[in-house]
């Protein structure tokens, strides 16, 4: 083989390898999780990765990072250099957003003042760094016996059913308003509680997930990210085969047989940056329960009672200029 032919052959091999590596990178879904201990406990992102890799001979690939300090609200993330630097890293296909576990079950005026503005800052930052990133909202669950801390002053959350219903409603409305996707983990938990009360989804504190609870969440996320059918999953973590199968069957009833997972979104892997398309804003229309406490446990002022009305007219605006004009809280 002459030098010229050998050189040409080597060039073709190198080009082929580069193409294969590029294709492998492009087929990997890049996900950033922003939340707190509900994501951190049992390492949910890694469990999602293992669930996904157990299907279709590892065809689906997930690359992930997270900022999930315990007990954090969105207002803490907007002032955190670690969270902001991970957002600014860019090139994310999906950003998962999870608020503090009680916040979105509180009165509308409290949410309008102490959650929505900070969510807006996070969304603006995400869209600047990853214009094509899809927002996924991690719909969490009501506490095992309701929210004892706030239940006296705000009876709507005194039971699991009341708290869970409010969380479902608020996360759904945020996802709808921001053209995002709801990840209905709380709905899967609710169905498991009803059909398999012997499966303990909670840790001892009645709030955080047990291993079974995180497994149920991971199955839900795998379905949301890639459309993974729960019954195709073979990964069982450290659960018994009986428990894992029971959880996957319930997840199937919620995510596949119901309309919960009938989504328009399919994984679109990052290949090149495109200009973000900004559509007309949609208003949030949460019904107005009476305000009582902020997350800092300080009483709301009398003027804050108008928060319910203001929240009914609140629009999530991707544009900074539009927000300055219309986003007043």
3-7, 56-60, 81-85, range with greatest mean pLDDT: 81-85
Residues 6+ apart with CB under 8 A from 326: 315, 317
Domain-embedded: residue 329:
no
pLDDT of 294 over the 50 cut: no
pLDDT digits (tens, 9 = 90+) for 112-169: 999 999 999 999 999 999 999 999 999 999 999 999 999 999 999 999 999 999 999 9
Task: Give the Å distances, CA to CA, from 159 to 150, 164, 206, 303.
Answer: 11, 8, 12, 29
Question: pLDDT band at residue 321, thresholds of 50, 70 and 90?
Answer: very low
Residues 6+ apart with CB under 8 A from 179: 135, 279, 282
Q: Which residue has the higher pLDDT, 183 or 322?
A: 183
**Residue percentage of the chain with pLDDT more than 70:** 70
Give me the pLDDT at residue 59, please.
85
Give me the pLDDT at residue 56, please.
81
Q: Which of 71-85, 96-110, 140-154, 298-312 is predicted least confidently?
A: 298-312
Q: Are 52 and 225 in contact (CB under 8 A)?
A: yes
- When pLDDT is averaged across residues 75-85 and rounded to a whole number, the result is 97
Give me the pLDDT at residue 273, please.
42
Question: pLDDT band at residue 2, thresholds of 50, 70 and 90?
Answer: low
Helix/strand/coil for 225: helix
Q: Are 141 and 186 in contact (CB under 8 A)?
A: yes
pLDDT digits (tens, 9 = 90+) for 268-287: 444 434 433 333 333 333 33
Q: Which range marks the domain in which residue 124 is found?
A: 26-267
Domain-embedded: residue 21:
no
CATH code (residue 238): 3.40.50.1110
Question: What CA–CA distance (Å, rounded) separates 211 from 200?
Answer: 9
Domain-embedded: residue 83:
yes
Q: Which residue has the higher pLDDT, 259 or 154?
A: 154
Domain-embedded: residue 147:
yes
Q: Are 208 and 38 in contact (CB under 8 A)?
A: yes
**Lookup result for tokens 């690939």:** 61
Number of domains in the chain: 1
Question: What CA–CA distance (Å, rounded) separates 105 from 190?
Answer: 16
Domain-embedded: residue 7:
no
pLDDT digits (tens, 9 = 90+) for 6-56: 444 444 443 433 333 333 445 799 999 999 999 999 999 999 999 999 998
Q: Are 185 and 139 in contact (CB under 8 A)?
A: yes
Domain-embedded: residue 193:
yes
Backbone angles phi, psi at 182, to 5 degrees: -85, 135
**Lookup result for tokens 């007219």:** 313
pLDDT digits (tens, 9 = 90+) for 34-45: 999 999 999 999
pLDDT of 290 over the 80 cut: no
Give me the pLDDT at residue 317, please.
34
pLDDT of 208 over the 70 cut: yes
Domain-embedded: residue 308:
no
The two structure tokens encoding residue 208: 């955080």
**Residue percentage of the chain with pLDDT more than 90:** 68
CA 254 vs. chain centroid, Å, equals 17
For 245, other C-beta atoms within 10 Å of its C-beta total 15
10-24, 262-276, 291-305, 309-323, range with greatest mean pLDDT: 262-276
Domain-embedded: residue 20:
no
pLDDT of 236 over the 90 cut: yes
Give me the pLDDT at residue 267, please.
59
Give me the pLDDT at residue 25, please.
44
- Eight-class DSSP state of 67: E
| Structural element, H or E, at residue 138 | strand 134-138
**Lookup result for tokens 């916040």:** 103
């Amino acid at each position: 083989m002459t030098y010229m032919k050998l050189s040409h052959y080597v060039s073709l091999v190198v080009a082929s390898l580069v193409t294969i590596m590029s294709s492998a990178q492009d087929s990997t879904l890049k996900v950033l999780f922003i939340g707190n201990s509900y994501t951190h406990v049992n390492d949910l992102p890694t469990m999602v990765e293992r669930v996904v890799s157990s299907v279709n001979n590892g065809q689906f690939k997930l690359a992930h990072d997270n900022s999930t300090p315990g007990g954090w609200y969105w207002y803490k993330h907007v002032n955190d250099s670690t969270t902001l630097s991970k957002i600014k890293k860019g090139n994310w296909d999906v950003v998962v957003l999870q608020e503090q576990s009680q916040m979105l079950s509180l009165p509308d005026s409290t949410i309008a003042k102490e959650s929505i503005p900070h969510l807006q800052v996070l969304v603006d930052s995400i869209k600047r760094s990853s214009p094509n990133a899809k927002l996924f909202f991690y719909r969490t669950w009501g506490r095992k016996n309701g929210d004892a801390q706030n239940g006296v002053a705000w009876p709507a959350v005194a039971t699991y059913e009341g708290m869970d219903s409010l969380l479902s409603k608020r996360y759904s409305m945020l996802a709808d308003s921001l053209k995002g996707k709801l990840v209905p983990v709380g709905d899967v938990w609710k169905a498991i509680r009803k059909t398999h009360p012997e499966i303990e989804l909670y840790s001892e504190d009645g709030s955080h997930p047990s291993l079974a609870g995180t497994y149920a969440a991971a199955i839900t996320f795998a379905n949301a990210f890639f459309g993974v059918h729960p019954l195709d999953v073979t990964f069982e973590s450290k659960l018994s085969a009986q428990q894992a199968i029971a959880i996957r069957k319930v997840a199937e009833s919620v995510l596949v047989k119901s309309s919960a997972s009938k989504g328009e979104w399919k994984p679109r892997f990052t290949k090149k940056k495109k200009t973000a398309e900004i559509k007309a804003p949609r208003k949030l229309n949460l019904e107005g329960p009476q305000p009582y406490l902020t997350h800092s446990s300080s009483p709301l002022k009398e003027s804050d009672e108008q928060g319910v009305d203001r929240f009914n007219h609140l629009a999530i605006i991707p544009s900074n200029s539009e927000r300055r004009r219309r986003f007043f809280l």
